[in-house]
Every structure is written in structure tokens, then in C-alpha cells.
């Protein structure tokens, strides 16, 4: 699926390109930007699935386990980076922002009920990062390998969280034989920078 970089290349068309790519990333599982790297202030990074991008306030939504180490890190320091890359189109988008974790909000409740039962099943298991003697999914035996019912899933709800990232800056980089191009949008204001 080849898309082309914005022509004419202006700050406005690049801003639109960022929005188009993040919307596509959230809605299309096959988008190369669907699974960005999310880095936290403790110099750790991990792949997460992008669930939503809101163009009105430039927020990204992810789902995670409220008991995961990254949630504890975010309580001390909410700074995150979210790194997207489309290898075929040679576009990198580096976002920096502040993350908040929501477990009880209406957003979290809606995200939980809209998620597939298989996706919700992992929140029934042990917290991420527990040490085991053997390879383990962490799921209870009676749940392993089957689709859980809504009733079985009920105790997992408390472990589910949404992570909302308010993008403060987005650094767009296009790699090209004609000369790489780069623009940074900080709190909505764009400028060209050298690559
Ligand atoms: C393809 C892929 C998708 C993943 N998606 C998520 C996700 O959406 N949310 C999440 O919390 N972890 C996801 N993970 C697991 C994380 O990369 C990470 O291992 C886990 O969240 C624990 O991270 P932490 O120890 O930094 O808290 C995914 C891993 C892979 C390989």
C-alpha cells in the first residue's frame, strides 16, 4: 500500500500527513505504525498497540495492565516518547508527551466493554513481570486456551487501564534520495528543521 508524501510539502500538508498516518495506525491492524515503541523516563521501551488517535487534541490511547511496571514508572514521571516508523514509505514520527493512566473513568469502562473477550483475557492472569520456574502465560489453567465468558472476565476489569498520551511534540522525518525532510510540531506550532 504505497502512499506518497505530501505534495506540495508545506507545514500544513505535513501536519495533515501526521494526522492521516496516526488515524490509519489506530484503525488498521496491518499498518506498520499500528504497534509503535513506547518509551518511559526510566530508559525502558516496549511495543504497544495504538488503539485510538484523537485529532481534536492530539491524544493517543493505549490499553495496558494497571499492575505493569510501566504504570508505576508513569506515576513518578509521566513523560513518554512514542516512536512510529513506516519502513516502506520511509517516514518516522517521533512523539513526545505526557501520559495518564485511567482505570475507573468512562473512557476506561468503554474501552473495556468494546474490547474483544480474547484481548481482555490476559487481564485475568498474573501481573506482568512475575518470575516463574517454567514458561508461563500467567493465565489460570481453567481459562488457558479458551474464550472466556463475560462472567469469567468480570474479575479482570480491575486490572485493565487505558493510557492516554497527550502529544506535546511530533517530529516528522521523511527519508529521501532528493534530500531528507523534517518538521517538528510543538503544541500545534510547526517549523522546518534540518534532518
Ligand atoms: C506485538 C506486541 C503488542 C503488544 N501490545 C501491548 C499493548 O497494547 N499494551 C501493553 O501493555 N503491552 C503490550 N505488549 C507487551 C509490552 O511490549 C510489554 O512487554 C508489557 O506491556 C510489559 O511492559 P512493562 O514491563 O514495561 O510494563 C505488546 C507486545 C508485543 C510484542
CATH number of the domain within which 76 lies: 2.30.110.10
Distance 36 CA to ligand 1 centre (A): 10
For residue 101, give the 3-state DSSP assignment: strand
Q: Does residue 54 belong to any structural domain of this protein?
A: yes
Q: Whose CA is nearest to atom 19 of ligand 1?
A: 46
Q: Is residue 152 part of a domain?
A: yes
Q: 3 in a domain, yes or no?
A: no
Nearest atom of ligand 1 to the alpha carbon of 49:
8
pLDDT of residue 1: 45
Residue 6, pLDDT score: 86
Question: Residue whose CA is closest, atom 14 of ligand 1?
Answer: 48
Q: Which residue's C-alpha cell is 510540531?
A: 185
Asked if residue 186 belongs to a domain, the reply is yes
116-156 pLDDT per residue, tens: 999 999 999 999 999 999 999 999 888 888 889 999 999 99
- Which residue lies with its CA nearest to atom 4 of ligand 1? 48
Query: Do 5 and 17 touch, CB atoms closer than 8 A?
Result: yes
Helix H or strand E encompassing 67: none
Which residues form ligand 1's pocket by a CB distance below 6 Å?
Answer: 35, 44, 46-49, 62-65, 68-70, 128-129
Distant-in-sequence, close-in-space partners of 146: CB < 8 Å, separation ≥ 6: none
Contact 124/153 with Cβ under 8 angstroms? yes
Q: What distance in angstroms lies between residue 64's CA and the mean position of ligand 1's atoms?
A: 7
Among the listed residues 16, 15, 57, the one whose alpha carbon sits nearest the alpha carbon of residue 190: 15
Instruction: Average the pLDDT over 93-120 and give the result.
Output: 96
Which residue among 35, 41, 47, 61 has the greatest number of ligand 1 atoms within 8 angstroms of its CB, and so is best to mutate?
47
Q: Which of 26, 30, 40, 46 to mutate to test the pocket of ligand 1 (most atoms within 8 A of CB)?
A: 46
Residue 143: domain span: 11-192
Task: Report phi then psi at 100, rounded to 5.
Answer: -130, 145
Domain count, the chain: 1
User: Largest Cα–Cα distance of the chain, in whole Å?
Assistant: 58
Cell triple for residue 55?
Answer: 485529532
Q: CA end-to-end span of the chain, whole Å?
A: 25
Q: Supply the mean pLDDT for the chain.
A: 95
CA 47 – ligand 1 centroid, Å: 5
Q: What is the mean pLDDT of residues 166-194?
A: 96
- Residue 72 domain-assigned? yes
pLDDT at 2 over 70: no
Residue-level pLDDT at 3: 59
Q: Measured between alpha carbons, how far is 137 from 115 in angstroms, rounded to an integer?
A: 20
**Residue 2 forms part of a structural domain:** no
Residue 62: which region, alpha, beta or left (left: phi > 0; alpha: psi -120 to 50)? beta
How far is Cα of residue 113 from the mean position of the Cα atoms in its chain?
19
CB–CB of 121/148 below 8 Å?
yes
If residue 58 lies in a helix (H) or strand (E), which one and from where to where?
A: none
CA of 192 to the centre of ligand 1 (A): 33
Amino acid at each position: 500500500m504505497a502512499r506518497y508524501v505530501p505534495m506540495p510539502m508545506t507545514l500544513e500538508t505535513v501536519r495533515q500527513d501526521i494526522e492521516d498516518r496516526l488515524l490509519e495506525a489506530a484503525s488498521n491492524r496491518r499498518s506498520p505504525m499500528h504497534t509503535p515503541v513506547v518509551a518511559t523516563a526510566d530508559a525502558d521501551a516496549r511495543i504497544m498497540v495504538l488503539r485510538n488517535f484523537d485529532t481534536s487534541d492530539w491524544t493517543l490511547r493505549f490499553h495496558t495492565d494497571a499492575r505493569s511496571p510501566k504504570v508505576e514508572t508513569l506515576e513518578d514521571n509521566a513523560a513518554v516518547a512514542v516512536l512510529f516508523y513506516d519502513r516502506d514509505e520511509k517516514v518516522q514520527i517521533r512523539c513526545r508527551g505526557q501520559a495518564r493512566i485511567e482505570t475507573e473513568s468512562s473512557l476506561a469502562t468503554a474501552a473495556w466493554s468494546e474490547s474483544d473477550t480474547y484481548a481482555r483475557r490476559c487481564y485475568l492472569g498474573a501481573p506482568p513481570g512475575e518470575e516463574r520456574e517454567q514458561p508461563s502465560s500467567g493465565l489460570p489453567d481453567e481459562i488457558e486456551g479458551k474464550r472466556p465468558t463475560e462472567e469469567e472476565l468480570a474479575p479482570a476489569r480491575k486490572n485493565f487501564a487505558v493510557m492516554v498520551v497527550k502529544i506535546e511534540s511530533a517530529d516528522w522525518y521523511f527519508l529521501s534520495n532528493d534530500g531528507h525532510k523534517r518538521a517538528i510540531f510543538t503544541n500545534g506550532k510547526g517549523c522546518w528543521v534540518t534532518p
